[in-house]
Structure 1
Amino acid sequence: MSQAFNRLVTLGLMQTRREPREKYLGGYLTWYRLSASFYPADRDDPYAEIPSSLFYGGAWGLLPTSAARHLYVVLACLDPIGNEKAYLDSILEDTQAEPWWDLYFENPLRYLEYDESNGRYDSKDLEPKLRIDYLAGHRARYPASLAELSDYSGMTRATVSSALQVLTTPIFGGHQRQDSTKRYPHFAPVIKGHAAARMPTWHVPDRRANDWTFNLDWLNDPEKFERLRKDRWPTLFRRRGQKARGRGRRPRPAANRP
């Protein structure tokens, strides 16, 4: 931990302050905080929201490679929508119309299921579906190719591609809620846009992961932590095992010929 803190201070990413403890306690207290350069100087500066719960809950630390953790932060910074709720609220203020989706969708009814029993469309889930689709439509205007993500992140294209496979693997949800027949949705840390052949697409962090927490007993136990990772990314760890076994093999000696 001390080495990591010292490295952050050296890079100018963290600030420290050391002061004496209160009377009769003795010794010193050291305070740490991120550099002010991480935060926007004024309201018009572009910024990316990465909530602390993502780190304290263990979701970010659970990612199995440093490349995946680094790329996650890069994708959060590249997201053209910093705050989804604030962005959608601004749309409502601009339109001053109800329902707001009539201005953006030619046929909203295609999102609904037709109830033949009463001859009506079930509009209960209409607005959430349209909100998701509207956000996706806006982000589709800002695709990023592997080459661009490589430039942004400072990693090779192969490393970026491997990290994206990790980030788009569903690791959250998929189990039944307590005292309910409903199940948590199964989703990945990062949402991937529609990908056409030979065309770049967009990737953004799924905001639902911000509220997800893992058991501290698992996160603080190295064996349980590694087991949790293997359970979430079985294909990745299977490939690692195959590579390790391949490196351990020795070439067979050539047969002696007369």
Structure 2
Amino acid sequence: MLGALTCGSLLFPGLFHAFRKTLRWTFSSWTDADVVCVSERLVSAIHGSLATAAGVRVVTSCSDVMTDSHWLVNAFVVFGAPYMAHDIYAMYLSHFLNHGVRGQAGKASSHSLQTVRAFLAKDWTLVLHHLSLLFVFMPIALFFRRGLGDFFVGCMFITEFSTPFVSIGKILIQLGLDNTRLHKVNGIVILLTFFMCRILIFPFMYWMYGRQFGIPLHKVPFHLPLHCNLGNLVILAPQVYWFILLLKKARRLYLRQKRV
């Protein structure tokens, strides 16, 4: 586990630093805010791809959804923990640079409690999501499962499948390609992958559990402990919220392009 933690602690901050250096040299006209934003998105896409690959490997390897285990589960939970901590920092830095540019006509502001509050007010759902993964999901996955349910943890990894496409969308906008066909196709892929892997994944897990124990899907929640159902609802709720935001954004873009 120490090896996985060390790899994650070196990889994600290292990639972020490397991308910043490369982008600053490649796109000399970009501001620091642009460079940090795209660097954060590239690292996020890499983490999402790795998480999805790990999840698919675990899910396809577990024939028994409760008792089968795979070494990747605990290893990737520990490996991905530094990313969650670093991404909070990267998101704050991106917000800070944008806030300084937009709020003070190009003059950099200083770090303060006010800038932290402004960041938390804007991105509190993402920060809460990351902190929950660090301080709730990780301890449960590592210490309180008693070796059960690797299949379901693998499904949680697969929820990151939409993340690379979300990152690609942000990068395309940064490159001025938001009116291209590529951006439109990517937007459709985002909606489909988000809905399938962050929302439908929950009834899929219930269905797989019911299938193994011969329980109809609509009766599965009544055969599970209350804390399992509540935990799933807590994870599902922000996914539904973000999906609604994606739908609203897609509708705005469609109406805007229709008027052009």
For the aligned pair, the TM-score class normalised by the smaller chain equals: under 0.3
**TM-score (normalizing by structure 1):** 0.23
**Structure with more of its chain in strand, by fraction:** 1
- Bigger radius of gyration, 1 or 2? 1
With a CA cutoff of 8 Å and minimum separation of 6, indicate the structure with the bigger relative contact order.
2
**TM-score (normalizing by structure 2):** 0.23
**Structure with more of its chain in helix, by fraction:** 2
